[in-house]
Amino acid sequence: MKCEAVIFDCDGVLIDSEPIAVAILCRDLAELGVPMPEDEVHHRFTGWTTTQIAEAIAAEFGVPVPADWAPTHNARVRDAVAASVEPIAGVIAVLDALDAAGIPWGVASQSGMPYLERGLGRVGIWQRALGRVASSQLVARPKPAPDVYLKAMELVGARPGSTVVVEDSPTGVRAGVAAGARVIGYAADRPPEELRDAGAVATIAAMPLLLGVLGVSPPAA
């Protein structure tokens, strides 16, 4: 699968932040009076913005969500991720190989820029991707709309039809497809058929397998 550029989602694709975020979301939902197990939270809300989650909880459960709930939750996640997050296994070598092959890459995330700077900065990716990180909070519509992926492609200087997107949630896959990219689903902890049903043209269970799909040689030892 030849490509002009690769755009990565952030959480669960570049950094292993989703277990951290899911645990905090479970706690914060319980405080609202909506207890929910971690596997359900992960399945339902991975790839959503906090505002989307708050709106869904209020509509489905009839629970009043305080105006400061979303920013307070985001701050808790941001601090926890900045303190302890690690890169997804194998992703640094993937980025090294893309750089060696001359294939530009960027980031398109639902999260805000302060979170991205701290989370990606902890693992050394922010420093490598300066000027090529797009946040859905800076465009008109979040995923599953295509806006943030189109912005990331603009920053990288790539055409949609020649771009590969790497995503781990159905919401993100639909955004990449809507942007005109070919989407590879990272299905390390999600049934791959969920990502294929959303439009992924291929799925991988481990990040190093991405290089084989793209026909890129791994970095020299």
Residue 185's beta-bridge partner residues? 167, 203
| Buried-state track 37-52, b at ≥16 Cβ within 10 A, e below 16 | eeeebbeebbbbbbbb
- Counts for the chain of helices (H) and strands (E), in that order: 10, 6
Q: Residue 43: its pLDDT value, please?
A: 86
pLDDT in tens, 64-119: 999 999 999 999 999 999 999 999 999 999 999 999 999 999 999 999 999 999 99
Q: How far is CA 117 from CA 17, 63, 101, 113, 176, in A?
A: 14, 33, 25, 6, 22
Structure letter (DSSP) for residue 164: E
pTM to 2 decimal places = 0.89
Q: What percent of the chain has pLDDT over 70?
A: 100
Instruction: Look over the chain and give the mean of its residue pLDDT values, rounded to a whole number.
Output: 94
pLDDT in tens, 184-208: 999 998 899 999 999 999 999 999 9
Evaluated on CA atoms 117, 122, 127, 128, the torsion sign reads negative
Q: How far is CA 131 from CA 92, 109, 145, in A?
A: 18, 14, 22
Tell me the domains of the chain and their CATH numbers.
5-16+86-214 (3.40.50.1000), 18-84 (1.10.150.240)
Which uninterrupted H or E stretch holds 135? strand 133-135
Q: Residue 189: its pLDDT value, please?
A: 85
What is the separation, in whole angstroms, between the first and last Cα of the chain? 24
User: SS3 for 210?
Assistant: helix
Residue 133's beta-bridge partner residues? 107
Q: How confident is the model at residue 221 (pLDDT cuts 50, 70, 90)?
A: low
